[in-house]
Amino acid sequence: MPLCSTRCGKNAVLKRPKTGDALCKECFFEAFENEVHFTITRAELFKPNSTVAIAASGGKDSTVLAYVMKLLNEKYDYKLKLFLLSIDEGITGYRDDSLDTVKQNRDDYEMPLQILSYKDLYGWTMDEIVSEIGRKNNCTFCGVFRRQALDRGANLLKVDYLATGHNADDIAETVLMNILRGDLARLNRCTSIITDSGDGIPRVKPLKYTYEKEIVMYAYFRKLVYFSTECVFAPNAYRGHARVLLKDLEKN
């Protein structure tokens, strides 16, 4: 194995997709965490003594976000009060299982957890909606409901910020989707690191410049518990076409 690029004297265990550096685990952790810290401080995402709800799905992005936010909050004394906010869409075989992971995150990271369900908010589960409309445009419906549910949850918790786990790959996919659809309004704002849905609670993206591959590597080497099963309705999503195209371009 090659030596770590930082000349710490240890053997490298990975090659960073973002920089090409060969790093040991400890140096990779430090580089990854420092970059998220730099993103937070450069964009001034949070004010001291604020409360932050982390949108937690149990997946790799939100799990890494929760872990890193807790770590950086303690390391750099952000003076933030952190919550986990999860939405139960009512998707059998997917969300019911992933919520178990979120509850594990709650215990591991010692953060309060609030779970809101589509059933309680709207009177419908996503399974019931799909049974009525069929397997078409499911993600469009779910996306609208989920965004509104997160806003309601943030208001219920009376937080100052809502942090989401959107990463660089997600944003690239969204840019491509909006270009293909000719949606200039969304294209104009989809790369913003801070957005406001109109309720006065900003949404922030601390992982905006973080590659998906590195998030997976970080979760793996940190031995974080996360849920990796794809939503049963996701294969029909328009986003999937943009994702495949980007992966093919990257591979080429």
Task: Give the span between the Cα atoms of 234 and 142, in whole angstroms.
Answer: 11
Give the sign of the dihedral formed by CA 91, CA 96, CA 101, CA 107.
Answer: positive
Beta bridge mates, 81: 51
55 annotated to a ligand binding site: yes
- The CA distances from residue 220 to 3, 26, 74, 106, 251, in Å, are 21, 13, 22, 19, 22
170 annotated to a ligand binding site: yes
57 annotated to a ligand binding site: yes
53 annotated to a ligand binding site: no
Reading the block at residue 63, the tokens are 């799990």
Q: Are 121 and 144 contacting, i.e. CB atoms less than 8 angstroms apart?
A: no
Task: Give the span between the Cα atoms of 204 and 193, in whole angstroms.
Answer: 6
56 annotated to a ligand binding site: yes
Task: Give the span between the Cα atoms of 31 and 73, in whole angstroms.
Answer: 16
- Binding residues for ATP, as ranges, are 55-57, 61, 87, 165, 170
Q: Which residues are annotated as a binding site?
A: 55-57, 61, 87, 165, 170
